[in-house]
Structure 1
Amino acid sequence: MPIPKSLRPKRQTSGSSSQARRKLCRLCHNLDPRGHASSVYHTESSKVATTSLTLVLDTLSLSRTKMPAEGGCRFCGVLVHAMDAFFEDWRGSRQRVTVDIKEKGSIKVGIDGERWTGELVEIYAGAASRAPWPTLGIAHHIPTNAGSDDTFNFARRCIRDCLTSSKHTACKPPSKSGSVLPKRLLDVGRVAAPIRLIDTQGKPFQYVTLSHCWGTGPVLTATKSNWQKLASNIPFTALPHLFQDAIIITRQLGLRYIWIDSLCIIQDSTRDWETESIKMGGIYENSYVTLSAMSSRDSSTHCLVERRKPIKITYENTTGKEFAIRARKFADHHPDVNEGAPAKPDGPLSTRAWALQEHVLSTRVLHYTATELLFECKTSYRCECSSSRRTYPTTPSLIPKAIAKKKGSVDAVWDAWQHVVEQYSKRELTVPSDKLPAISGIANKIKDVSRSSYIAGLWKGNLASDLLWSASHTPSTSAYALETYRAPTFSWASLNTPISYYAPDTDERETFRSTISLLSSSVALTGLNTLGTVSSASLKLRGPCLFALLCSSQRDSIWEYTVLIKGTSAIRISHDCLLCEDDNTTDSMSTGKTVRRAQLSTPMSHFKTPVLCLSVARYDTWFSGLVLGVSGRASGAWERLGTFAAGMEGFDKTEEKEIVLV
C-alpha cells in the first residue's frame, strides 16, 4: 500500500531555520528512522505508519566523533555514552556497530566480534518525562533484582493465568492414572521446618522441578551412604547457593516440594539412576513449573541475583533543555512470530544437552536469565521487558503442536523430532555416553504418538529421511570419530558434531520417495532404558548401489572429499568427519583398501579409494544417499562416511543389493 502523503517524511527547504536546528548527522542520522535512504516504512493502515532503520557504523568512526561538549553530534554522544558503559574496550577494536532504530520504540545497539556475541544495549526514554525527540520510545520497567516482590508477582501471574485460562488446553495435566511420579522429592516445608528428602511411595504431590548446570565443580548429591541423612534434615546453609534460591522460589510460589536431580536420584546407584532417568521426561512434564537456572554456570551460582541497573544519559536539546535517557543491557530472546521460532533464553544452561529435554517437555518454565525473568508454557510466552500477552510459539509447545497436526499424516511429528535433534546436537554433555539417554524422554513422547520402532536415534517409520542427516562442519573445526563406541555410524549419536536435515519445500516433499527397504534391524541395549545407551545396532537394507572412488583433497588446511562415478561429473560429499584410508580385511573389494572415519590420532593423507554409494531417497529429478566404507567392526558390514546428492545421470547403472549398516 502506498504511503499517504501526510505520512511521508517532509522535505526540508534549504536555508530554513528548522534545517539548521535539525541538521542530520551523516554518521547516526540523528537516530531518526525517517528520511534515510535505507528507511523502511511499515503501513498497517492508511492513518498509521511505523518506520524502521538499521544503520551499520564502525567503531573507529564512532570513537573519533566529537562529544556534544566539543560541538559534536549530541545523538552520536548518546551512542558513545551507552557503548562506553556496556561494551568494555570497544574503542580499541575495529568492528561493525549495528544500530536498529524503530519509530516510537527503543534503540538496539550491538557490536560484531566474538567478544560481544549476543550482547546488545537498549536505549530508551524515561517513562516519567516527555521523550527527548519524537521518534524515541519508552521501554517496559524490569526490576533490578531477580528476587524482588515485583518479579515474584510476575511469576505468580504468569502461572495463575496459565492454570486458569480456558485457552491453555495443552497445559492441562494428564490423567492421574497415566502420570509419571518421581520416587523422591525434597520437602522444603516452611522456613522453620526441616528440609529433607522424602519417598513419595507412589503418591501424587504438587512439586517444582529445577533445570540447572552441574558444572565441573563439586555438586551436592544423594549417594548410598548419605541419602538417609538427607532424609532426616538438610541444613539450609549446607545447600549450594542455587539450591537455596530454588527453595526460596518454591516457597514464594506457595509450594512445599521440589525435585532436583542430583538429590532425588541416588547418583552412585546404577539401577536407581536408570530407573529414575527413564521417568525424567514425565517428571518435568507433570511438575507445577520448571525453574530454569539459565544464567547459573553451576550450583554454586545464585539465580536470584542483583541485575545490572540501567545507566542514565543526560541529553540536551537545541534549546538547552535537559532530558533523561536510559540505557541497559538487552537480551534478544523474543520469539520470531514471522518465522514461527520460539523464544531464545540465553545463558550457560542453553548449551547443555540434558537441559533441552527438560525445556521441551516441561509444561511451564520460568527462565532466570541475567537480564530478566521469562515465562513459557505449552500455549504462551511472556517476559518482564514486555507487557504483551499475545500467543507466541514456544519450545514446550513444539511436540504438542506436532501431535495436534498429526491426524492423517505423521510428518509434523517427524519434523518436530528432527528439529529437536538439530538443536540437541549443538549442545554439550559432561558424560559422553549420555548422548542417547539425555534425549530419551522426547523419544518416548514421539514413540507414544507414532507407534514406530526406535533405532538408536532414528525411527523406522521415517527411516529414509532420518538416515540423511548431514554433519554441519565449520571451516575452523575438525570432527573426528569417537575413540569409544557410542552408537552405530548411521546414527547422528555416533559423533560429537552439530547435524542438520534437509528441509524440502512443499513441491519436493510431495515428490519424496524412499528407494530403500528395511529388511531387518537389531539394537543391543546396555541398561534398563529401551531408548537409551546401546552397545551395538545394525540395519539390513535393500537398495540401489554402485561402487565409486572417493578422493580426498586439501585446500587452505581444510579437507574435502569427492566421489567419482563413471558417466557423471565429480560429486562433492558432505562428510561425517575427517576420513582416512584403511586396510580392508574382507574380500568384498578387489583392492586391499577402504575408507573409514578418522580418529584424533589418525595421520591424515591424500587417497583415492573405492567406496559404496547407496541411494536412499529420490526427490523428483535427483537422488540423495549415503557414502559407505567397509566396516572394521563387523565382518561383511558397511559403515557410513557421509551423504551425497546427485542428478539421475550416472545412476542408471545402480544394482539392487542387500547390505548391512553398523
Structure 2
Amino acid sequence: MVLSVCKTCKGLQTSQRITDESITEPLQRFSTTLPALRQSATAGCRGCAVVQQGILLHHDRFAHVNEEHVNISAESFNLGAETQNAQDHLSVELRWKPNDERCSDGIGEHEHDHEQDEKYPDLKLEFYTDKDGQSPFSAIGRGIRISENPLTDFGLDVAKAMIANCLSHPKCQQAKRARLPKRVIDVLANNGSNEVKLHESTFDADELSYEAGDYLTLSHCWGVGQNVLKTTKATLSANKTKILWSSLPRTFQDAVALTRALGFQYLWIDSLCIIQDDPSDFQRESLNMDAIYSNSFLTIAATSAYDSSQGCFLPKPQPFKIQATDNKGSLYKIYVREQPSHYSFKGNFSEEDHMNDWVMPFNCQDQAIAQTPLLKRAWAFQERLLSPRVLHFTPSEMIFECMEGIQCECGRIDNSMYDSRTTDTVKREFANFAAGSHRPGETNGDATMSESVDGVVSQLANINLNGTTSHSANSKDEAIQLWSYIITECTARDLTFDADRLIAIAGVAKQFLPILGGYVAGQWTFSTLNLLWYPSEASHCRRSKVSSSIVPTWSWASIEGSPIYFDNTTAMDLACTATFPSQRDCNGSGSHSWSPISGDRVEISAAMAAEVTLRFDSSDGYSLMKNHVSVEFTPDVGVPRGEDELVPGETLTCVLASMTWRSSIIGLVLKASKSQTDTYRRIGRFECYDCDHEGNTDEPGDAEALLSLWFPEIEDMTQLDDGPKKVFSVV
C-alpha cells in the first residue's frame, strides 16, 4: 500500500537532506492560505494539523482579519556545519495586510520603508524541538532556548558568553584599566541588606582623573520623570550614606541586581550620579559623557521600558507546546513561538554599502521601535554609540552590541540566511572611526592586553587577550560624512528638553575633535559645506525655544521637528567660505575651538551673493526672484514667526555656495536681523535644479543657467576666488 503525501505541506518531510554547505538559501516548504491549511488538517494531514494549531495559538494577532486574506508560507534551512550553533526550525510566515494598509500603519511612511515592509511578514512563527532534536517531521529540527530571566543561572551564562565573545574582538579589548566617573553607585554595601550608596571617587592628581575601577552604566528612558529617583543638593549627603532598596524604581533595581550578578561593584546611573538641581554639575558631567560611557565595561540598556518603573527585564512570552505523533503513534513535543523580529536593529541596505548609500534615519518610524522605545531617544543614541558594549533587554530576548558586531540569544540577528535585512552598522562605523584616535581617559602605550584586563573583566573572558591592532588615520571627508549621518540619526530621535539638543551629542563630537578640529554649536569650523544642512520635513519644523544667542540660526540645532540632512560634497566650489571670529584661537585660525553647546556669529564670505525678492506662490510655497528669474524655495520652518516671519515682496539675500554632482546649485537664504545691526539670520537653504524666466514659455533653464541670469557681471567662473567678496555676519 502506497501512502499519499499531503499536497499542501508534503508531510513536512525532506526526501533527501541537502549536504552542500555552499547553499545558504532557505528551503521553501509550502505556500497556502489559512482556509486551505484547515481543510488539509481536517483531511488528516498531521503536518498541516501541527502548523494550523501553532498558528491558531497566535490567533489574537489576526482576529480582526478575514481568514481568506491570511496567506501562509513556510521554509526550513540547510545548516551544514553550523548545525551545532544555529536553529534548525520550521519558519512559518503569515501575511494579511494589503500594501496600502502597511503604509497607513506608519511602517512605510517613506518609499524605502514601504519597499522593505512588503518583504517582511505580519507574523513570523518558528516550530522547533528541544535540545534532543527528536521530531516526527524532518522539517522541524532543534531550536535554541531563550532565557526567561537574565538573573537566572542560564540567563547569566548567556550574557557572559556574549561578553566573552566580544572580548575576543581586537577593538573591544580595553587598552587599560578604566577610571571611575566622579560619582558611581556602590552596589556592594556589605551591610547584609540590599541597600546601595553613592560613592564619590577620589581624584588622582597624577593621572588627572578619578580612581581606577571597573563599572557598568545604565541607559534608560526617564519617562515623565515622576518615578525617577534623583540626587539633588539636598539629598547628596544622605545618598552617600545609603539609598534604600525600596526607594529604587524597578529599572534601577534590575540594573543593580545584574551588576552584582556579573561581579561588579559600581554602577553609573545618570539621575543619581549627577546632581540634578545643580546646573554647573549637570553641564560638567553631561559634557563628560564620552568618558563615562566609553570607559564603562558594559552598558545595561532598558531598551523596552518606557520609564524607570517598568524594569529592565520585561516578562517574555513563553513558547507554546504542541503534541504531535508519528505514523506509529509515538508522541513528540513541538514548540512554537513568535520569532524575534529584530526589527529595530534591522535596515534595508547592505553592510558592504558605503556611507553615501545608507538609508537614513535607520528604522526610526513608530512601529519599528514600538517595543524598543529607548532607541527613539536622542540621549540614549549617544550612550549607545559611546559604549564599548551594550546589552539590550527586549520583550523577546537579549541583544548584545559591541564595536565589532551584534549578537542575540536566538543566534540569527546577523545571519543573512535567516533574515536578509541588514543590522544597524552606524555603531560599528563609529567604532572604526574612534579606533583611529585615542579614547578620552585612556593613554597610548605598549601594554599587552593580558596586563590591561584584570579582575572581574578577565574572569568573564574565557580567552587569552593579547595582541595589538593598528588603525589608519581617518580622512576629514570620511569623518564629516559619518558625523553628518550621526546628526541625521540623532535629530530623528526625541528629546524632552530643547536645551539638550547640543549637549546630548557633545560626547560623540568630542571623539571627532582630533580629526576635525574646531567645533562650535554643532558645526565643524573647517567645513563651510556642513552649514548646508536642511530638514527633511520643513513643514513640520519649528525654531528651537532656546535663545538664538545660545543656539544661532546657522546651526542645525536651531531647528526641531524633523531629521536633519547635509550636503558635504561639491562638484564646484563657488568661492564661499565661513569663519568663526569669536572662536579664533591665539593663532587666529579657530581650528581648535571647542564650544559644544553655544555659538555666536559666523562670517560668510561669498563671491556670488544676490539680493532677491521673496514671492509667495501658494499658501505654503515660496520662490526667490531676481532679474525676472525665479527659483523655488522652502524655509527651514513650516510657519515662520517672529524674526523669521516672511513678507511677500521683501528683500532677502541668497548666498551661492556650491554646484553639486547632481547638477544643482546650493546656497543659503539670509534675512536681515531686526534686532542686531549689520547681521543676518539664516532663513533656509535652497537647491536649484532649474529656474524659470518670466515671459519665457520654453522649458525652464537648468541650474547652471541661473549663474549667468542672476550674475551677468561674472564672465569667468574660474576667477571667482580672485574676485570681490561680500561678507555676511550670520547670528
| TM-score, length of structure 2 as denominator length | 0.70
1:339 aligned to which of 342, 351, 364: 351
Alpha-carbon distance in structure 2 between the residues aligned to 1:113 and 1:48 = 34
Are residue 472 (structure 1) and residue 536 (structure 2) matched? Answer: yes
Alpha-carbon distance in structure 2 between the residues aligned to 1:642 and 1:86 = 51
Are residue 170 (structure 1) and residue 195 (structure 2) matched? Answer: no
Q: Taking structure 1 as reference, are residues 347 and 539 closer, same or farther at Cα in structure 2, changes over 3 Å only?
A: farther
Are residue 372 (structure 1) and residue 413 (structure 2) matched? Answer: no
Are residue 459 (structure 1) and residue 459 (structure 2) matched? Answer: no
Are residue 641 (structure 1) and residue 684 (structure 2) matched? Answer: yes
2:214 aligned to which of 180, 184, 206: 206
Q: What's the CA shift for 1:657?
A: 2.6
Are residue 544 (structure 1) and residue 569 (structure 2) matched? Answer: no
1:627 aligned to which of 636, 648, 669: 669
Alpha-carbon distance in structure 2 between the residues aligned to 1:113 and 1:94 = 21
Q: Taking structure 1 as reference, are residues 49 and 219 closer, same or farther at Cα in structure 2, changes over 3 Å only?
A: closer
Alpha-carbon distance in structure 1 between the residues aligned to 2:199 and 2:627 = 69
1:50-103 Cα offsets, whole Å, 9 max, x none, are 25779999xxx8589856565699759947953762754642589987867544
1:293-334 Cα offsets, whole Å, 9 max, x none, are 101111111112331112245678999998735122523255
Aligned length: 591
Q: Taking structure 1 as reference, are residues 54 and 48 closer, same or farther at Cα in structure 2, changes over 3 Å only?
A: closer
2:707 aligned to which of 651, 654, 658: 651
Q: Taking structure 1 as reference, are residues 633 and 540 closer, same or farther at Cα in structure 2, changes over 3 Å only?
A: farther
Q: Quote the residue 1:280 is aligned against.
A: 289
Q: Taking structure 1 as reference, are residues 72 and 624 closer, same or farther at Cα in structure 2, changes over 3 Å only?
A: farther
Q: What's the CA shift for 1:124?
A: 2.6
- SS across alignment from 2:543: coil
- Alignment check: 8 A CA contact 1:453 1:459 kept: yes
Alpha-carbon distance in structure 2 between the residues aligned to 1:238 and 1:280 = 26
Alpha-carbon distance in structure 1 between the residues aligned to 2:512 and 2:159 = 30
Deviates more, 1:632-641 or 1:99-108: 99-108
Q: What's the CA shift for 1:21?
A: 3.7
Q: Quote the residue 2:229 is aligned against.
A: 220
- SS across alignment from 1:462: coil
- SS across alignment from 1:650: helix
Q: What's the CA shift for 1:422?
A: 0.7
Are residue 50 (structure 1) and residue 25 (structure 2) matched? Answer: yes
How do 1:506-585 and structure 2 match up within 5 A?
511=571, 513=573, 515-522=575-582, 531-534=595-598, 536-553=600-617, 559-564=620-625, 566=627, 571-580=631-640
- Alignment check: 8 A CA contact 1:120 1:331 kept: no
Q: What's the CA shift for 1:471?
A: 0.9
Alpha-carbon distance in structure 2 between the residues aligned to 1:642 and 1:79 = 57
Q: Taking structure 1 as reference, are residues 129 and 409 closer, same or farther at Cα in structure 2, changes over 3 Å only?
A: closer
Alpha-carbon distance in structure 2 between the residues aligned to 1:79 and 1:552 = 61
1:151 aligned to which of 148, 155, 170: 155
Unaligned runs of 5+ in 2: 78-88, 108-116, 204-210, 353-357, 417-422, 437-470, 585-592, 690-702, 715-724
Alpha-carbon distance in structure 1 between the residues aligned to 2:378 and 2:147 = 30
Are residue 481 (structure 1) and residue 543 (structure 2) matched? Answer: yes
Q: Taking structure 1 as reference, are residues 582 and 650 closer, same or farther at Cα in structure 2, changes over 3 Å only?
A: farther
How do 1:180-579 and structure 2 match up within 5 A?
181-189=180-188, 190=190, 192=192, 194-202=195-203, 203-216=211-224, 217-312=226-321, 324=334, 326-333=336-343, 338-339=350-351, 347-386=372-411, 394-403=425-434, 404=436, 407=473, 409-450=475-516, 452-464=517-529, 466-473=530-537, 478-485=540-547, 487-501=551-565, 511=571, 513=573, 515-522=575-582, 531-534=595-598, 536-553=600-617, 559-564=620-625, 566=627, 571-579=631-639
Alpha-carbon distance in structure 2 between the residues aligned to 1:56 and 1:612 = 62
Alpha-carbon distance in structure 1 between the residues aligned to 2:654 and 2:267 = 53
**Equivalent position amino acid for 1:192 in 2:** G
Q: Taking structure 1 as reference, are residues 420 and 96 closer, same or farther at Cα in structure 2, changes over 3 Å only?
A: farther
Q: Taking structure 1 as reference, are residues 543 and 510 closer, same or farther at Cα in structure 2, changes over 3 Å only?
A: closer
**Equivalent position amino acid for 2:571 in 1:** T
| TM-score, length of structure 1 as denominator length | 0.76
Alpha-carbon distance in structure 2 between the residues aligned to 1:97 and 1:613 = 56
- Alignment check: 8 A CA contact 1:62 1:80 kept: no
Alpha-carbon distance in structure 2 between the residues aligned to 1:212 and 1:263 = 13
Q: What's the CA shift for 1:262?
A: 0.8
1:536-580 Cα offsets, whole Å, 9 max, x none, are 44343324223444444558xxx3444455576x64445422145
Q: Taking structure 1 as reference, are residues 512 and 416 closer, same or farther at Cα in structure 2, changes over 3 Å only?
A: farther
Alpha-carbon distance in structure 2 between the residues aligned to 1:95 and 1:642 = 51
Q: Taking structure 1 as reference, are residues 172 and 537 closer, same or farther at Cα in structure 2, changes over 3 Å only?
A: farther
| Identical-residue share of aligned pairs (%) | 25
**Equivalent position amino acid for 1:478 in 2:** H
Q: What's the CA shift for 1:274?
A: 1.6
Q: What's the CA shift for 1:256?
A: 0.7
Alpha-carbon distance in structure 2 between the residues aligned to 1:80 and 1:523 = 69
Alpha-carbon distance in structure 2 between the residues aligned to 1:317 and 1:229 = 66
1:262-295 Cα offsets, whole Å, 9 max, x none, are 1111111112112222212211110111111101
RMSD of the TM alignment (CA)? Answer: 4.3
Alpha-carbon distance in structure 1 between the residues aligned to 2:283 and 2:221 = 20
Q: Taking structure 1 as reference, are residues 262 and 581 closer, same or farther at Cα in structure 2, changes over 3 Å only?
A: closer
Q: What's the CA shift for 1:185?
A: 1.2
Alpha-carbon distance in structure 2 between the residues aligned to 1:608 and 1:94 = 60
**Equivalent position amino acid for 1:456 in 2:** A
Alpha-carbon distance in structure 2 between the residues aligned to 1:272 and 1:389 = 41
- Alignment check: 8 A CA contact 1:631 1:639 kept: no
- Alignment check: 8 A CA contact 2:576 2:607 kept: yes
